[in-house]
Amino acid sequence: MKSSLIIFSFFVAGVAFAYSGWLSESVDWERLGGWTLYLLMFLAGVSIGGDKNSWHVLATHNYKVLLIPFTIVLGTLAGSALVASILPSLTLQEGLAVGSGFGYYSLSSVLITELHSQSLGVVALLSNIFREVATLLLTPILVRYFGRLAGIASGGATAMDTTLPVITRYSGKEYAILSVFSGIVLTLLVPFLVTILLQWGR
Amino acid sequence: MTPILLSLLAGILLGLLLLRKPLVLKFSNRLFSLSVYMLLFLLGVSVGRNKEVMSNLGKIGYEALVIAVASIAGSVLLSTLLYHRLFRKPPSHEK
């Protein structure tokens, strides 16, 4: 929650600076963004590859546990596809790409901005922040009515860190490891899925 | 294979090689957060200048909210099925 506030405030600061005309025209997303994105993806890779925990968790669990992130991917894509088919302003591809952030708003919004458009990047930023905040607020209710996997499902990629405390509290300690596992798998999937979705058919 | 995925894969490989170098990894994570901050600031700047996006903020927020709600609903509903089939412990026969 704290980190999402920090990240969101950087975005808002950028909007405010530009809108008020304080910044010179020389600061340019197109020039800096494309370049920094490769660095960002590379560094995201380093932190994934260098995380002892994630390899350990991935190596020591059976198929049953793998069904958790799989179910979340399926449910998320089905939900996003439904929305995209109802809202005339969104194509199927756009809806799926935004949903595939699984709450990992920083990486998915930057990636979508670069691969698609600024407006869809902002949709992704907001939508995935909403997913995190809603999980923080609703997990107690979701767990009560939909079972102990509900918080993990709602949290998506954030279930490994930012929403882990609330999930552990309401689903129980034995679900913490499942939550971390599912979050790690989804976090790993985000860059691949978003890139593949937005580049299919091009 | 796109350059973006190649950068990611190269990073994962390097990260694997660096598994025993916590200081380098810490530095890399720090750099990662900094570049996220910078990119989102820049995204904010170009959004602030982009009249089309600024005048559509309401629509953008609405789409974002609806996708978030549908994503959560879809995954929570499916997870309920999974939970009741495989995870919920059978009722115990003890007192």
pLDDT digits (tens, 9 = 90+) for A64-92: 888 999 999 999 999 999 999 999 999 99
> Among A174, A197, A188, which residue's Cα sits nearest to residue A44?
A188
Asked, for residue A111, whether it belongs to a domain, the answer is: yes
Q: Which of B2, B6, B8, B14 should one mutate to test binding to chain A, selecting the residue with the greatest count of A CBs within 10 A? A: B8
The answer to the question of residue A97 being in a domain is: yes
- A7: in domain: no
Contact B35, A36 (CB under 8 A): yes
Task: Name residue, tokens 């958790």.
Answer: A68
Contacts of B52 in chain A (CB under 8 A): 119
User: Is A72 in Cβ contact with B75 (below 8 Å)?
Assistant: yes
Residue A106 has pLDDT above 70, yes or no: yes
A197 token code pair: 């979705």
- Asked, for residue A15, whether it belongs to a domain, the answer is no
Tell me whether residue A51 is in a domain.
yes
Give the residue with greater pLDDT, A30 vs A86: A86
Q: Is the pLDDT of residue A192 over 80?
A: yes
Give burial (CB, 10 Å; 0-12/13-18/19+) of B52. Answer: exposed
Chain A CB contacts of B85 below 8 Å: none
Domain boundaries, chain B: 1-49, 56-88
Please report the ipTM that was assigned to this predicted complex.
0.87
Q: Per-residue confidence of chain B (95 residues) as pLDDT tens digits?
A: 577 788 888 998 998 898 888 888 888 888 888 888 888 888 888 888 888 888 888 999 999 999 999 999 999 999 999 999 887 765 555 44
- A1: pLDDT strictly greater than 70: no
Interatomic CA distance for residues A149 and B81, integer angstroms: 10
Cα separation, A83 vs B31, in Å, equals 36
Q: Is residue A8 part of a domain?
A: no
Distance separating alpha carbons of residues B67 and B87, to the nearest angstrom: 28
Percent of the residues in chain A that have a pLDDT greater than 70, as a whole number? 87
- Residue A138, C-beta contacts closer than 8 angstroms, at least 6 positions apart: A154, B72
Chain B residues in contact with A21 by the CB 8 A cut-off are none
Q: Which of A121, A127, A146 sits opposite B67 (nearest CB)?
A: A127
- The identity of residue A5, as a single letter, is L
Q: Which one of B2, B7, B39 makes the best mutation probe of the A interface by having the most chain A beta carbons within 10 Å? A: B39
How many domains does chain A divide into?
1
Question: Do the domain assignments include residue A53?
Answer: yes
Neighbours of A137 (CB within 10 A): 11
